[in-house]
Amino acid sequence: MAYGDFVVMRDLDFAIQRGDIFIIMGGSGCGKSTLMRHMIGLKQPAAGKILIAGQSLWDTEGATREALLRRLGVMYQSGALWSSLTLAENIGLPLQQFTALPSKRIREIASYKLALVGLAGFEDHYPAEISGGMQKRAGVARAMALDPEVLFFDEPSAGLDPVSARRLDDLILELRESLGTTMVVITHELASLLRIGTNAIFLDVETRTQIAQGAPRTLAEHCHHPRVQAFLSRGTTGEAQ
């Protein structure tokens, strides 16, 4: 991954399995969100390939590329809800753009997605009328609008109090169990990644590459790289139980 001549990360090599809660972790400035932008088709890698079900994302175009991207959903760090639209309208927008469903059916789907994230009855509320944690959950509902196979979360707990962050973790676990959705979570929040992660990579800002891969708890117990240990031993293990 590079911006011009500046290399952000090199030699990244990992696979995300169906049903994973896959954590992309590392310190600030290591390139976690940049990696997500590459994986969801917003920025092309300087070298290498990104494969989705064996198909190279950046070597396809037209309808084939659209079909690959439709398999992905994204919850952005801020929630990225349209402030002038109700929650139901926010969730219905992708359905209006990419399907031929009638308005009544779109409303029903929006209500169902909101119910999945614990926001039943909030269809006609605007983002400013609900809490930050509820906005995050509405962002998850919007990301699920087109029934993606893979959901990406960019720093989902950022700006949330510990209770709201824990509820969001619970939601991610519930959705994985109930829908079988694969989750990719970009985070540096220790309690969260230890609690929900089934697999992970660690991006190292000093060497500009990945220096560890595996389940977060396994890495915490068995990886002896000093920077990985420092990251995973920050004194909040009790909170992560």
Q: List the structure tokens of 175.
A: 């959705």
The residue ranges of the chain whose pLDDT is under 50 are 236-241
- What is the gyration radius of the CA atoms in the chain, in angstroms? 18
Tell me how far apart the alpha carbons of residues 109 and 48 are, in angstroms, rounded to a whole number. 38
| pLDDT reported for residue 78 | 67
SS3 33: helix
Please compute, for residue 128, the number of CA atoms within 13 A of its CA located in the half-sphere on the CB side: 4
State residue 125's pLDDT score: 95
Given a contact cutoff of 8 angstroms between Cβ atoms, the answer to whether 225 and 214 are in contact is no
Question: What is the distance in angstroms between the CA of the first residue and the CA of the last residue of the chain?
Answer: 35
Instruction: For 152, list phi and psi in degrees, rounded to 5.
Output: -105, 135
pLDDT at residue number 237: 41
Distance CA 15, CA 77 (A): 23
